[in-house]
Amino acid sequence: MAGKMCNGYHNDNAYLPRQSRAFCEGMEYRAGGTGAERPETGNPHDGPKSPDGDCWHKGWEITNAAAGGVLSQEKFPCCAIPTHNIEA
């Protein structure tokens, strides 16, 4: 949602835009295919002590947990979530 910030850990709108964007990118990446096609190792922000990488991972992790179902806007208040089922 425009103007909102979240990072998967807290949704109190107090996060940097790049962390919020990385969180949504992790969700979008995992939602784009199966877990085998879109592995957790695809994190482009990964690095030692990377807050952006942590947020991307959290987005991927929450989406992966929803495999076989649909995502809730409640879990991703700052993201445009897909309406299709998440493939396992």
Q: Which sequence spans correspond to the domains of the chain?
A: 1-88
Supply the DSSP symbol for 74: T
Q: Are 23 and 8 in contact (CB under 8 A)?
A: yes
Query: What is the chain's mean pLDDT, rounded?
Result: 89
**Is 70 exceeded by the pLDDT of residue 71?**
yes
What percent of the chain clears pLDDT 70, i.e. is strictly above it?
Answer: 91
Type of residue at 60: W
**Is 80 exceeded by the pLDDT of residue 72?**
yes
User: pTM for the full model?
Assistant: 0.90
